[in-house]
Structure 1
Amino acid sequence: MKNTSQSPQGISSDSYYFEKDKTGSILVLGVGNYLMGDESIGVRLIEALSEGSIPDYLDILDGGTGGFLLLDRFQAYGTVIFVDATMDGKPAGTVSLLRPKFASDFPKALSVHDVGLKDMIEAVYLLEHQPDLYLITVSIDHINPMSVEVSQPVQEAIPVAMDQILTLAQSLHKETPVVGDHL
């Protein structure tokens, strides 16, 4: 487990993601706009994860509103878990796990940055290396522009989604063969 006695350190350089081989690591990538109320749930989950103890094989990244600037992360990691808000008609705060294989498999109602995110995923499938992709969504029922307030149902989803992320990551890490292992 990572040392939690120190405050999380911000990484200001892309070199962090390429200092060592990350193919055995898992990246949790939260996307969202902090100034759009419930739509910010992806980045708020990353913030919450950074305040706790996470395993050494897990890296977390606030991806903001997504976009092509994140493509190099897909080249570096063998597994990526996306976290995002969705307006899918389910009750606000519903946490769902999806296994999209293509951008068309992503929910049609991802939050306001969905076009950029779907375009980015399409670009990932054009790269030489494609990571295993998982998507954890938190259902929202509205977007509140220019607000940092998160509704109670979405706030209550944070520990549920964190548990799901950590459980999924642990399961995926156990499935990853270690170099040198023999059957």
Structure 2
Amino acid sequence: MKKLLVLGIGNILLGDEGVGVHAVEELKKDEWPENVHLVDGGTFTHDIFHILEGYDGLLVLDIVHGGKDAGTIYYLEEKDIIDNDKQRLSLHDIDLVDSLNMAGAVGKRPEMRILGMEPENYTEWNMDMTETCQAVFPGYLDKARSEIKRFIAEFAQ
């Protein structure tokens, strides 16, 4: 059975920077098939390459600096990050791609997709997301649920 890792990345102490972690914690409240694993990856993406081993799919939940209005939701694939050096997946994108490369070097490399949100505040100490990001957070969760279901459907083919 193919496996999916849903990885929430971010720092919940820096406002909107924690959107991925907040999202994965909310998604853990839903019921998922046994081949879907939800993990709080925090900010240690370089150290987690060993967690990526054995997965066929990887859905990353994080902030994305795309230059649009705060609260904008982005869907990206790995090639979007690699091909566009101006696209930044939070502060952790280089480490995450490196971790994927290391996982591939020692075993299987999962297919990565990213669901991100443009932050408003990600540099000031605050455990709450801004009102702007909180307002779109339910829609962000719905898109994450849809993407998880899409992975599951693709795995069944």
Q: TM-score range by the shorter chain?
A: 0.7 to 0.9
Q: CA deviation at 1:34?
A: 0.9
Structure 1 residues 64-79: aligned runs within 5 Å: 64-79=42-57
In structure 1, the residue matched to 2:25 is: 47
Q: CA deviation at 1:78?
A: 0.7
Q: How far apart in 1 are the matches of 2:11 and 2:108?
A: 28
Instruction: Describe the shift of the 1:51–1:100 C-alpha distance in structure 2 as closer, same or farther (beyond 3 A).
Output: same
Q: How far apart in 2 are the matches of 1:76 and 1:124?
A: 9
- Aligned partner of residue 77 in structure 1, secondary structure: coil
**Gapped runs of 5+ residues in structure 1?**
1-22, 179-183
In structure 2, the residue matched to 1:172 is: 151
In structure 1, the residue matched to 2:120 is: 141
Give, as a single letter, the amino acid of the residue that structure 2 aligns with 1:50.
K
1:130-171 CA distance string (max 9 Å, x none): 111101111113323321121112112222121112112212
In structure 2, the residue matched to 1:162 is: 141
Give TM-score, length-normalised by structure 2.
Answer: 0.85
Kindly indicate whether residue 107 of structure 2 is the aligned counterpart of residue 128 of structure 1. Answer: yes
**Gapped runs of 5+ residues in structure 2?**
none
Q: How far apart in 2 are the matches of 1:126 and 1:108?
A: 25
Q: How far apart in 2 are the matches of 1:120 and 1:24?
A: 20
Q: CA deviation at 1:103?
A: 5.4
Instruction: Describe the shift of the 1:36–1:116 C-alpha distance in structure 2 as closer, same or farther (beyond 3 A).
Output: same
- Higher relative contact order structure (alpha carbons within 8 Å, sequence separation ≥ 6): 2
Give TM-score, length-normalised by structure 1.
Answer: 0.74
Give, as a single letter, the amino acid of the residue that structure 2 aligns with 1:31.
I
- Aligned partner of residue 112 in structure 1, secondary structure: coil
Q: How many residues align?
A: 156
In structure 2, the residue matched to 1:117 is: 96
Kindly indicate whether residue 36 of structure 2 is the aligned counterpart of residue 58 of structure 1. Answer: yes
Q: Is the 8 A contact 1:102 1:122 kept in 2?
A: no
Alpha-carbon RMSD: 2.3
Query: Which has the larger Rg?
Result: 1
